[in-house]
């Protein structure tokens, strides 16, 4: 089986690497060619264009930054017409649920199958092959994708038909964003009160407030390590998708809307490429204080 992997950024690079280590033949394409060098050393075929990457591939995986980029790279007439009939497209990035359905319909019109399979677990999970995959797919398409997913994830959940994987991802990102905001506020509260924030975090990890966000991003905040695992601009994109979906279904989500506004301010301040845990920096600015003096 030949896999075309389109998009080798923060998440795509280690994911493509794990497929190579699992023994798959992988064609890779990325707009910035330097991000494919490490994969070439692992045995990947680096393609200069998306068309070259997909031409002989039975499976095409996209891990691109937005739906607009997907449409520029793959989901267009010029590219889809070059795919092998019956090929399986697996979109592993996060896009709006309705857009995933539209992409599936377009792929199907070219006799191609489609799975939306966004992931959770960040760069750490991508590197370790322990991602959670939230799949929107038919049973038969999910079965085809299973050997690939096994090389990338420790947990593969079939959410339902195409589009529902992206709905699950929206739910995931709402929880992540709100929790990052809550952890930022809690640590600032503790610091302002004169408590040892390292000890506070340790105590909270032993009770109901424990979460991966408190564990991993709380540590990032204390260490002031905002090297991106997931960039703030990507978090905002996901929150915008959630907001659009909520409005279409007459849902009021005040917590999500509040943190969406905060991420918009963070991005507008020029910090869009920092890790999404850098929301702390906005809250520090609003309060004219810092977590650590």
Taken in order of first residue, the domains within the chain and their CATH numbers are 2-161 (3.40.50.720), 167-287 (1.10.1040.10)
What value does the mean pLDDT take over residues 224-242?
A: 95
Q: What is the pLDDT of residue 179?
A: 98
What value does the mean pLDDT take over residues 247-257?
A: 96
| Beta bridge pairs of residue 116 | 91, 136
State the Cα angle at 26 between 31 and 68, rounded to 5°. Answer: 35
Sequence-distant (6+) residues with CB within 8 A of 146 are 156
What value does the mean pLDDT take over residues 249-258?
A: 97
Q: What is the pLDDT of residue 293?
A: 75
> Does residue 214 register a pLDDT over 90?
yes
Distance CA 152, CA 74 (A): 22
What value does the mean pLDDT take over residues 257-281?
A: 98
Element (H, E) at 159: strand 153-160
What value does the mean pLDDT take over residues 269-288?
A: 97
Provide the pLDDT confidence category of residue 29 given band limits of 50, 70 and 90.
very high
| Beta bridge pairs of residue 155 | 132
Q: What is the pLDDT of residues 89-140, one digit of tens each?
A: 999 999 999 999 999 999 999 999 999 999 999 899 999 999 999 999 999 9
What value does the mean pLDDT take over residues 26-34?
A: 94
Q: What is the mean pLDDT of the chain?
A: 96
Q: What is the pLDDT of residue 140?
A: 97
What value does the mean pLDDT take over residues 27-31?
A: 96
Q: What is the pLDDT of residue 194?
A: 95
Sequence-distant (6+) residues with CB within 8 A of 270 are none
> Does residue 57 register a pLDDT over 90?
yes
Distance CA 272, CA 33 (A): 23
Distance CA 86, CA 164 (A): 22
Q: What is the pLDDT of residue 118?
A: 97
Nearest to 95 by CA among 123, 125, 69, 60: 69
Give the active site residues: 169
What value does the mean pLDDT take over residues 228-243?
A: 95
Provide the pLDDT confidence category of residue 5 given band limits of 50, 70 and 90.
very high
Q: What is the pLDDT of residue 240?
A: 97
Q: What is the pLDDT of residue 292?
A: 85
């Amino acid at each position: 089986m030949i896999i075309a992997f389109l998009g080798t950024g923060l998440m795509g690079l280690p994911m493509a690497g794990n497929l190579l280590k699992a023994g798959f033949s992988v064609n890779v394409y990325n707009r910035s060619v330097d991000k494919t060098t490490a994969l070439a050393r692992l045995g990947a075929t680096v393609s200069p264009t998306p068309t070259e990457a997909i031409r002989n591939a039975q499976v095409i995986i996209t891990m691109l930054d937005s739906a607009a980029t997907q449409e520029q790279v793959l989901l267009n007439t010029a590219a889809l017409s070059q795919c092998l009939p019956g090929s399986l497209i697996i979109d592993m990035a996060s896009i709006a649920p309705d857009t995933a359905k539209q992409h599936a319909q377009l792929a199907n019109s070219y006799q191609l199958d489609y799975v939306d399979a966004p992931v959770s677990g960040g760069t750490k999970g991508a590197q370790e092959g322990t991602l959670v995959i939230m799949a929107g797919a038919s049973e038969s398409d999910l079965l085809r994708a299973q050997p690939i997913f096994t090389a990338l994830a420790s947990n593969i959940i079939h959410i339902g038909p195409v589009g529902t994987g992206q709905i699950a991802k929206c739910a995931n990102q709402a929880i992540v964003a709100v929790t990052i905001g809550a952890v930022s506020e809690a640590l600032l509260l503790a610091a302002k009160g004169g408590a040892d924030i390292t000890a506070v975090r340790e105590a909270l990890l032993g009770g109901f407030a424990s979460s991966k966000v408190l564990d991993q991003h709380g540590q990032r905040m204390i260490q002031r390590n905002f090297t991106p695992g997931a960039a703030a601009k990507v978090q905002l994109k996901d929150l915008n998708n959630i907001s659009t979906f909520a409005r279409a279904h007459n849902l009021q989500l005040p917590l999500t809307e509040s943190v969406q506004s905060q991420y918009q301010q963070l991005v507008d301040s020029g910090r869009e490429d920092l890790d999404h845990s850098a929301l702390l920096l906005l809250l520090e600015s609003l309060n004219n204080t810092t977590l650590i003096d």
